[in-house]
Amino acid sequence: KKFQCDVCPQRFQQKAQLKTHQRSHTGEKPHKCDECGMRVSQPGNLKAHKRKHTKEKPYGCPTCNLKFSSNGGLKVHIRNKHEYAPKQPCPMEDCRKEFSTIGNMKVSYVLPLYLF
Residues 6 or more apart in contact with residue 76 via CB below 8 angstroms: none
Residue 17, CA distances (Å) to 2, 31, 100, 108, 111 in order: 11, 16, 38, 45, 44
State the pLDDT confidence band at 34, using cuts at 50, 70 and 90: very high
Phi, psi of 38 (to 5 degrees): -60, 140
Residue count (the chain): 116
Return the exposure string of 70-98: e unless at least 16 CB atoms fall within 10 Å of the residue's CB, then b.
eeebbeebbeeeeeeeeeeeeeeeeeeee
What is the pLDDT averaged over residues 44-52?
93
**CB atoms closer than 10 angstroms to residue 23:** 15
CB 35, CB 53: distance < 8 Å: yes
pLDDT in tens, 58-80: 999 988 889 999 898 999 888 88
Is 48 or 110 the better-scoring residue by pLDDT? 48
Mean pLDDT of the chain: 84
